Structure 1
Amino acid sequence: MTLIQRNFKHDPTRFNVLSSGGGTQSIAIICLIHAKKLPKPDCIVMIDTEREASNALNYQRQYMMPMCHEIGLDYYIVEKSLISPIDLIYPKNGTVLPGYHSEFNGRNKSGHCKGKQPGYCSVKWKSDVFQKFLNMQYGERYLTKRGVNIWLGMSFDEPKRIKTILGKWQRKYPLFEMMITRETAIKLVEDYGLPTPPRSACWMCPNRSDAEWLWMKDNVPEDFKKACEHEKELQQDFPHLWLTRYGVPLDKAPFLSQDNMTNLTQFCDTGMCFS
């Protein structure tokens, strides 16, 4: 296995849970647990927004869940709608949750959308649902009394995403503490004999780069088709919102093939996209 430079500080007195986003870093953490390079947490929870990339979800079910079962580690994949009814819009004020591209304030000289909506989907579709599920599964009083450490997959090359939160619910970053970068995480998974881990994100995520949309179109056409249909449905109520900055139907967007695949690296491979 890839050389590990530093150990992870583990507190077994607290309830430890890996918040899996279904992507590269989460997969690497599970491999480290399976290899006994990381202690076994109390459980793993992945919140399925019900718009998860199908290849990432299939990878979890085919490889990760059997590995966890082998070592007696509970891995829950929880559909969002089973815990929370909140979907595309806040019921109170009609605010759209994902950070769609907006032409509400017009377009720039290139004809692209000038604006972008703030994104609330990570909180409402993931982190809120994650905490509600744990409270339902283990009991809010028990978790509050014991204290919860949430393991997140931010790697050593993502220092800006590291947030220290103290109190009953704390965040821990195994890969960051062990000085493991995203590239190292990929090699670690491959060295473990598994296929190259997929990138994790909702198939309708407006934070995708051009290269990521092109990759989906060529490699997971069923997801790309769902994204096109989603955009059409969205525009029935919000005609100024789009999935890309181009402000044209997704299947007609002039994607730049030389664009790099960086956007989602920063956001969606952990259990909480915008944490």
Structure 2
Amino acid sequence: MKDIHVISLGAGVQSTTMLLMACRGEFEPKPDLVIFSDTGWEPKNVYEHLEWLKDEVKKHGIEIAVTNNGNIKEDIVNSINDSKRFASLPFFVKNKDGSTSMVRRQCTNEYKIMPVRKAIRNHLGYVPKQRVKEMVHLWMGISTDEIQRVKESRERWITHRYPLIEKWMTRLDCMNWLQRNGYPVPPKSSCVGCPFHDNHMWLDMKRNDLESWNEAVEMDREIRRLPQFKNEIYLHRSCVPLDQVNFNENQIEMFEDCTGYCGV
């Protein structure tokens, strides 16, 4: 059985580090394929970083393939206007009894996982439902501080590999490696309106990326018109309109020089 090595690229700190380390021979073998699945709603600086990364890895004979399964922002807007199904984000729900809950997340599977699998199959020349004969080693950019995300593949023809965990690297180790080798530290890769953003991420967007902030505020307002939900839904865990959230800015400022999770 032939082994195929594929990097699933998110273009954030960890996956960028993993790819560049592979380019420099610090992870072997050299990957056969690198795939970035584009949700269509990343911040502009993530797309700028991706273009830089494409040029950088070309120097090492590696190409980054970009795939997608539609545009998540457009799909939400279309669902508001014509009630079409869309892969839901983990929106926060304000229930009628005053409690809060979260919508089941479908977006990662449909805009990230499934498009990568489809791109791998296309690369290997398979049509839908045809059995894959190769063993695909899918490299995931997960560091030790996210070890709870380590999972085995549910596909017989895919096995997951976690190179950063093999070297017991944290997110901070990745940042240090990038800086030590003269590479820029990437922005955090996630959808502009991802409900998983913490207060620091939202505040950083509000201060430093007004275009993305305005998009998120508008989307937060619009999702309450989604016909699929009986209760009010929000992007922020407080179940308050995003532009009215108190981010405790003075408290956050005390930690802006933190080199851990904050600000990366």
TM-score interval (norm. to shorter): 0.7 to 0.9
Q: Note if contact 2:75-2:86 (Cα within 8 Å) is conserved in structure 1.
A: no
Q: What amino acid is aligned across from residue 115 of structure 1 in structure 2?
A: S
Q: TM-score, normalised by structure 1?
A: 0.79
- Alignment deviations for residues 12-68 of structure 1 (CA, whole Å, 9 cap, x no partner): 941111001110001111220222112310011011100112212211212x11121
Q: 1:46 to 1:107 in 2, by over 3 A?
A: same
For residues 125 and 196 of structure 1, the distance between their equivalents in structure 2, rounded to whole angstroms, comes to: 25
For residues 86 and 207 of structure 2, the distance between their equivalents in structure 1, rounded to whole angstroms, comes to: 33
For residues 158 and 87 of structure 2, the distance between their equivalents in structure 1, rounded to whole angstroms, comes to: 28
Q: Give the CA deviation at 1:171.
A: 0.7
Select the residue among 123, 143, 147 that pairs with 1:137: 123
Between the aligned residues of both structures, percent identity stands at 25
Unaligned runs of 5+ in 2: none
For residues 116 and 255 of structure 1, the distance between their equivalents in structure 2, rounded to whole angstroms, comes to: 20
RMSD: 3.0
Give the aligned partner of residue 8 of structure 2. 19
For residues 59 and 150 of structure 2, the distance between their equivalents in structure 1, rounded to whole angstroms, comes to: 31
- What is the DSSP-based 3-state SS (H/G/I as helix, E as strand, rest coil) of the residue aligned with 1:158? helix
Give the aligned partner of residue 231 of structure 1. 220
Select the residue among 120, 142, 151 that pairs with 1:154: 142
Q: Give the CA deviation at 1:87.
A: 3.8
For residues 87 and 169 of structure 1, the distance between their equivalents in structure 2, rounded to whole angstroms, comes to: 29
Q: 1:226 to 1:71 in 2, by over 3 A?
A: same
- What is the DSSP-based 3-state SS (H/G/I as helix, E as strand, rest coil) of the residue aligned with 1:15? strand
Give the aligned partner of residue 98 of structure 1. 89
Q: Note if contact 1:34-1:67 (Cα within 8 Å) is conserved in structure 2.
A: no
- What is the DSSP-based 3-state SS (H/G/I as helix, E as strand, rest coil) of the residue aligned with 1:136? helix
For residues 96 and 145 of structure 1, the distance between their equivalents in structure 2, rounded to whole angstroms, comes to: 30
- What is the DSSP-based 3-state SS (H/G/I as helix, E as strand, rest coil) of the residue aligned with 2:133? helix
- What is the DSSP-based 3-state SS (H/G/I as helix, E as strand, rest coil) of the residue aligned with 2:144? coil
Deviates more, 1:36-45 or 1:157-166: 157-166
Q: Note if contact 1:42-1:74 (Cα within 8 Å) is conserved in structure 2.
A: no
**Mapping of residues 250-265 of structure 1, within 5 Å:** 250-257=242-249, 258=251
For residues 61 and 79 of structure 1, the distance between their equivalents in structure 2, rounded to whole angstroms, comes to: 16
Query: What is the number of residues matched between the two proteins?
Result: 245
Q: 1:144 to 1:35 in 2, by over 3 A?
A: same
Q: Give the CA deviation at 1:94.
A: 4.8
Which structure's relative contact order is higher, taking Cα pairs within 8 Å and 6+ residues apart? 1
Q: TM-score, normalised by structure 2?
A: 0.82
